[in-house]
A and B are shown apart, each in its own frame.
Chain A
Amino acid sequence: MQTTVDRLKKGDRATITGIDADALPLKLLEMGCLPGNSVELLQIAPLGDPMYLDINGARLAIRKETAKHISVEVTS
């Protein structure tokens, strides 16, 4: 299923299919947020934002407003 990271549910795993590179900071790409890499949603903060992700083995948190620019294919 094709979606964006901000719509994932806790525990979802997905593969990045595309990124809106102009809307994302380069730093995020440098941390491994690139097409083909895996994403897992580990946690959502208690108040609904930000999201705690495992991207390609790197653990980081981003806000939903950023996450919506990352398209993914959900794998499990």
Chain B
Amino acid sequence: MSNENINVALIGNPNVGKTSVFNALTGLNQQVGNYPGITVEKKVGFCKLPNHAKANILDLPGTYSLNASSMDENVVIELLLNKNDKLFPDVAVVVTDVENLKRNLLLFTQIKDLEIPVILAINMADRMAYKGISLDISHLEEQLNTKIALISTRKKQGIEELKQLIMSYKNLSTEPCLNASSMDPDYFGGLRKTFPNELVYKLWLVITQDVNFRGIEKKEILSEHRKSDSELKRMQQKETIKRYQFINDVLKVGQTIDKESARDFGTKLDRILTHKVWGYAIFFGILFLIFQSIFSWSEVPMDLIDSAFGWMSTAVQEHMPPGVLTDLISQGIIPGIGGIVIFIPQIAFLFLFISVLEESGYMSRVVFLMDKIMKRFGLSGKSVVPLISGVACAIPAIMATRNIENWKERLITILVTPFTTCSARLPVYTIIISLVIPDERVLGFLNIRGLMLMALYAAGFLMAIFAAYIFNKILKVTSKTYFVVEMPNYKLPLLRNVGINVVEKTKAFVVGAGKIILAISIVLWFLASYGPGDDFNNADKIVTAQISKSDAAVSQQELDGHIASYKLENSYLGIAGKVIEPVIKPLGYDWKIGIAVLSSFAAREVFVGTLATIYSVGETDEQDPIREKMAAERRPDGSKLFDLPTGISLLLFYAFAMQCASTLAIVKKETNSWKWPAIQFAIMSAVAYLAALTAYQFLQ
């Protein structure tokens, strides 16, 4: 980032279209990262302005006010308080929604009090006619002491004007628009005297918020200007009321709403979508549709990817000189990468659906519908969003619990979310379902495999709910309950937003998981290709000797196959598998599956890659897709290894086990102790083992 670029921070309440503005300004020139030490997402983008000027755009997390109640909101305050931060904005753009201007302006007046240049972007201008809203822009600009850009990211209007305003940010006034300190002149007068060089509002934020502020210590201020917590809370309320009075006065003149011409389509839609029968029917119908389509739409691209990687392995083997490196690439790296790339279609479809549900405003209705039910299990209606997002990945899902106000409800949600079926389980599910469940239809249109997949999702979800119920009974945590959820207007999702979201999230998943998988594939390949002692090193002699003793006629190819599997059995990997065999045998697994299960404790999706590696090592010429190799696996007695009992046992094990190092790390971060991830790990693994054991013993 060059210093000449203008640093712009986008600030706004949730749901005002801030992400859309960010996307409109930056296009695909964005980078998503994390703020150091915490898991709040940090999005920075780059934007070209007129006259060759350039801007770095920082998209801050959505916040209702500068009175932070979550980690996301703390990020906003900390940045705005620290002038020396390299991301400190030259100009802040407060994004608001024209339909919720009154409430959105609260944050605007607070930002103004920090005396930095502020532009007010009033978004969703396309909705004005529909809602009968008209604005007196020059009155608003004068009263609010700012410049206004009236924009519609949907209609792509006003973006150029916004860029113009950003470019000439030096002309903006930095005066506050109201005098909030008049609510307690003595107290604030005192503050001003002690700290003549600091903004009073800044001091006020340091006093009332739990944020790190380099410069002045909270203790230092409070030692001289003491107030009790309840006094402070009252003052905050007074401050809020004062700000609203100001905003009401400004809008009385600056905004007219013609109720007559406002057409309220949303209210009618609400009546159906939150109806006591239709509401639930529609919700479950949508879920059903999502799962059916993920499975059937992804089939074709997945098959293509599968054959492409098979072909690549063969090509490498044929065209590169034979040797260790060629083997590593064709048997370790390519199948390893293939194992993850193949799931891109499914993961992308999942993110697509979730993103559409969130963007349209429907998700809040689901929260509303489900709250009472969820509360019975110690969860909140807001737990629905993490539980559904958990279907993509537990990590963002656990981060999404942050807006659950009640600590106990939040903790339980964090603990049970990993039971929901994340996309990393899909690879395992897909391949095993396709091995043990026939590709048939019932009632003419329901794909049995699709139904099985749905049953697994249901099992994960029910287990999450059941575990929540138990946790709710045994956890002794008390905390005040608050539940406030905003019900945004219904909107047709912007394709561009959905597209960018899908690309970003899929990319993050593939890159994040891909690294682990690739590393594990390489390690596994080594472990499988080398072994200690004579059994491994003299495998060809031993096997040849055995065969000639039995004097059966074998072709060279069969002989090679026997040698390869003898080698694998005596490699480091084979030995490790043998050690754990007694533990996993009752579940119906052989030592090869055991290794795959063991290695997936780092990350579940490693399972398929591991099997791919195991089965490729010592491969001779043909490069069957991994699925066929698995289907061909036999037990010593000649029966199929992947039969129904073993298949179901594996499916259940993966449904319930806590096999994701990254999730455990995030739980540690969010709960601030190792205690909760440890409990989570122990309970989930035990549940998984018992479920798999029961299923196998019962079905066998």
Q: A25-B405, A61-B368 are in contact. Are A47 and B487 (CB under 8 A)?
A: no
B375 partner residues in chain A, CB cutoff 8 A: 49
How far, in angstroms, from A63 to B103 measured CA to CA in the complex? 21
Name the one of B241, B270, B275, B483 contacting A62, with C-beta atoms under 8 angstroms.
B483
CA distance A76 to B24 in the complex (A): 44
Judged by DSSP, the binding face of B is: helix
Task: Identify the stretch in B62-70, B79-87, B557-565, B678-686 within 8 Å (CB) of chain A at 4 or more residues.
Answer: B62-70
Give the nearest-CB partner of A57 in chain B: B102
Q: How many of chain A's residues have a CB under 8 angstroms from any CB in B?
A: 30
Q: Could you mark each residue 201-235 of chain B with 1 if its beta carbon is under 8 Å from any beta carbon of chain A, else 0?
A: 00000000000000000000000000000100110
Closest to A62 in B: B484
In the complex, which residues 458-517 of chain B have their Cβ closer than 8 Å to any Cβ of chain A?
Answer: 481-489
Q: Tell whether B625 is near chain A: CB-to-CB under 8 Å.
A: no
Q: Of the candidates A29, A57, A60, A63, which one forms a contact with B481 in the assembled complex, judged by CB atoms under 8 Å apart?
A: A63
A21 to B240 CA separation, bound complex (whole angstroms):
12
A63 touches B274 (CB 8 A): no
Query: For window 21-43 of chain A, which residues contact chain B by CB distance below 8 Å?
Result: 21-22, 25-32, 34, 42-43
Complex CA distance for A56 and B571, rounded to whole angstroms? 71
B236 on the interface (CB 8 Å rule)? yes
Interface residue SS majority, chain A: mixed
Within 8 A of A (CB), among B169-189: none
Chain A residue contacts of B481, Cβ below 8 A? 63, 65-66
On whether the beta carbons of A46 and B237 are closer than 8 Å, the reply is no
Decide: B67 and A46 in contact? CB cutoff 8 A: no
Taking a contact as CB atoms under 8 Å apart, the answer to whether A26 and B486 are in contact is no
Inter-chain contact B485/A46, CB cutoff 8 Å: no
A59 adjacent to B486 (CB under 8 Å)? yes
Contact A60 B485 (CB under 8 A): yes
CB–CB B486/A63 < 8 A: no
Q: Is the CB of A52 within 8 A of B371?
A: no
* CB-defined contacts of A52 to chain B, threshold 8 Å: 270, 274, 368, 487
The distance in angstroms between the C-alpha atoms of A43 and B485, with both chains bound, is: 14
Chain B 369-385 near chain A by CB (<8 Å), digits 1 or 0 = 10111010000010000
- A50 contacts the other chain (CB 8 A): yes
Interface size on B, residues (CB 8 A): 43
Q: Name A46's contact: one of B274, B381, B488 (CB within 8 Å).
A: B274
Report the nearest B residue to A24, measured CB to CB. B482
Contact present for A32 and B244 (CB under 8 Å): yes
What separation, in Å, do the CA atoms of A49 and B274 have in the docked complex? 12
Closest to B369 in A: A45
**Closest Cβ neighbor of B274 among chain A residues:** A43
Are the C-beta atoms of B484 and A28 separated by less than 8 Å? yes
A1 close to B (CB within 8 Å): no
* Known A-B contacts A25-B69, A30-B240; A46 and B276 likewise in contact (beta carbons under 8 Å): yes
Given A34-B244, A42-B270 in contact, is the A61-B485 Cβ separation under 8 Å?
yes
- Select one of B267, B484, B488 contacting A42, CB under 8 A: B267
Chain B min CB distance to A15 (Å):
14
Decide: A50 near B487, CB < 8 A? Known: A22-B233, A32-B244, A43-B270: no
A57 touches B482 (CB 8 A): no
Q: Does B487 contact A59, Cβ atoms closer than 8 Å? A: yes
Alpha-carbon distance between A7 and B407 when the two chains are bound, in angstroms: 27
Whether B240 and A26, one on each chain, are in contact in the complex, defined by CB atoms closer than 8 angstroms, is yes
Is B648 an interface position by the 8 A CB rule? no
Please state if A49 and B371 are interface contacts (CB–CB under 8 Å): yes
CB contacts (< 8 Å) of A63 on chain B: these are 371, 481, 483
Given contacts A31-B484, A50-B372, A63-B481, contact A26 B103 (CB under 8 A): no
**Which B residues between 371 and 413 are near A, CB-CB below 8 angstroms?**
371-373, 375, 381, 405
Interface string of B256-292 (1 = CB under 8 A from A): 0000000000010011001110011000000000000
Of the listed residues A60, A61, A63, the one surrounded by the most CB atoms of chain B closer than 10 A to its CB is: A61
Which B residues are in CB contact (< 8 Å) with A21? Answer: 233-234, 237
By the criterion CB–CB under 8 Å, are B279 and A46 in contact? yes
B354 contacts the other chain (Cβ, under 8 Å)? no
> Which A-chain residue is minimally distant from B234 (CB atoms)?
A21
Known: A31-B486, A66-B482, A66-B484. 10 other contacts (CB 8 A): A26-B65, A27-B67, A30-B240, A34-B244, A43-B274, A45-B372, A46-B274, A57-B102, A60-B485, A61-B487
